[in-house]
């Protein structure tokens, strides 16, 4: 089997060396970058990395900007590293499209476990079920693509899974905990507001008016639901 390629982006050489050692021991191929410019160049290599471990505070182009740029062009999973650990900082990273958020200092073994979990969730994100079509919105699980009125909309892996879970059961109200378990996996340890941040980003991308959503609806006191009826594949 081809080894998954992990791009480590951090301006601390010791951190890069340590993570590279642990990831290679876990069976991954490791790429390195020490600033934001290098990160963007390496992320565009062929074949591209399967996952990016990205420090928030890096030179030239900061980690949030790198994450935002990557997310605008691809669905490569991103795990953000940072010494800034407030809830607002975490939500800001998720708002830019990060799939996970690991505060410094961290255990290299824990990070390897998180890499494995994110890759596993990404690998099962697509399946062979037929496309879901609802009122101008098409969700194609096999291609891992979403289109609004025929226009492809780039989503992060988490956004795609959340949308797919909701759209497969239109009209059903899901709690945040249910969405986290079904879309992000039973090992997800995020906050309720993490789900809210992903839903907010999702609405920005697929809703004609994110302030008055027509697809992903808020069910007050419960969580979220999907409006509409499924069309033929």
Residue 232 lies in a domain: no
pTM above 0.85, yes or no: no
Residue 11 lies in a domain: yes
Residues in CB range of 55: below 8 A, 6 or more apart: 9, 10, 11, 12, 15, 63, 80, 81, 82
Residue 150 lies in a domain: yes
Report how far residue 205's alpha carbon sits from residue 56's, in angstroms, rounded to the nearest whole number: 24
**H or E element: which one contains 71?**
helix 63-73
Report how far residue 41's alpha carbon sits from residue 21's, in angstroms, rounded to the nearest whole number: 23
Within this chain, do residues 81 and 100 fall inside the same structural domain, yes or no?
yes
What confidence score (pLDDT) does residue 102 get? 87
Rounded to the nearest 10°, the torsion over CA 185, 156, 232, 228 is: 80
Contact predicate 168/132, CB 8 Å: yes
Within this chain, do residues 190 and 214 fall inside the same structural domain, yes or no?
yes
The confidence band for 41, taking pLDDT boundaries of 50, 70 and 90, is very high
What confidence score (pLDDT) does residue 198 get? 87
Within this chain, do residues 20 and 47 fall inside the same structural domain, yes or no?
yes
Q: What is the mean pLDDT of residues 58-70?
A: 92
Within this chain, do residues 177 and 91 fall inside the same structural domain, yes or no?
no
Higher pLDDT, 2 or 26: 26
Contact predicate 9/60, CB 8 Å: no
pLDDT tens digit sequence for 193-231: 788 888 998 999 999 999 999 999 999 999 999 986 544
pLDDT tens digit sequence for 99-143: 888 888 899 999 999 999 888 877 654 455 788 888 889 998 877
User: What value does the mean pLDDT of the chain take?
Assistant: 85
Give Rg (Cα) of the chain. Answer: 18
Residue ranges making up the domain that contains 12: 5-123
Residue 231 lies in a domain: no
Three-class secondary structure of residue 146 per DSSP = strand
Within this chain, do residues 119 and 71 fall inside the same structural domain, yes or no?
yes
**H or E element: which one contains 195?**
helix 192-206
For 76, phi then psi, to 5°, come to -60, 125
Within this chain, do residues 39 and 102 fall inside the same structural domain, yes or no?
yes
Which of the listed residues 123, 147, 180 is the one where a domain comes to its end?
Answer: 123
Place of tokens 């963007």: 40
Within this chain, do residues 175 and 204 fall inside the same structural domain, yes or no?
yes
Which of the listed residues 59, 90, 123 is the one where a domain comes to its end?
Answer: 123
Within this chain, do residues 59 and 159 fall inside the same structural domain, yes or no?
no
Report how far residue 54's alpha carbon sits from residue 136's, in angstroms, rounded to the nearest whole number: 35
Neighbours of 185 (CB within 10 A): 14
Residue 233 lies in a domain: no
The total domain count for the chain is: 2
Within this chain, do residues 25 and 106 fall inside the same structural domain, yes or no?
yes
Within this chain, do residues 20 and 116 fall inside the same structural domain, yes or no?
yes
pLDDT(33) > 90: yes
What confidence score (pLDDT) does residue 230 get? 47
Q: For residue 178, what is the domain's CATH number?
A: 1.10.10.10
Which of the listed residues 78, 102, 123 is the one where a domain comes to its end?
Answer: 123
Within this chain, do residues 185 and 217 fall inside the same structural domain, yes or no?
yes
Within this chain, do residues 140 and 59 fall inside the same structural domain, yes or no?
no
């Amino acid at each position: 089997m081809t080894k998954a390629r992990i791009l480590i982006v951090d301006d601390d050489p010791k951190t890069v060396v340590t993570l590279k050692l642990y990831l290679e021991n876990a069976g991954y191929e490791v790429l390195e970058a020490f600033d934001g410019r290098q990160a963007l160049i390496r992320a565009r290599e062929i074949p591209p990395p399967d996952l990016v471990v990205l420090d928030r505070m890096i030179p030239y182009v900061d980690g949030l900007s790198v994450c935002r740029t990557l997310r605008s062009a691809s669905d490569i999973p991103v795990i953000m590293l940072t010494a800034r650990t407030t809830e607002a900082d975490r939500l800001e990273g998720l708002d830019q499209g990060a799939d996970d958020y690991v505060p410094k200092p961290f255990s290299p073994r824990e990070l390897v476990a998180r890499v494995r979990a994110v890759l596993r969730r990404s690998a099962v994100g697509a399946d062979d079920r037929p496309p879901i079509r609802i009122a101008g919105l098409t969700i194609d699980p096999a291609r891992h693509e979403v289109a609004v009125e025929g226009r492809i909309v780039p989503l992060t892996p988490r956004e795609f899974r959340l949308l797919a879970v909701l759209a497969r059961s239109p009209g059903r109200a899901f709690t945040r905990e249910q969405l986290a378990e079904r879309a992000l996996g039973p090992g997800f340890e995020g906050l309720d507001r993490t789900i809210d941040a992903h839903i907010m980003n999702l609405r920005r991308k697929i809703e004609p008016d994110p302030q008055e959503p027509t697809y992903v609806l808020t069910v007050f006191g419960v969580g979220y639901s999907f409006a509409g009826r499924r069309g033929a594949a």
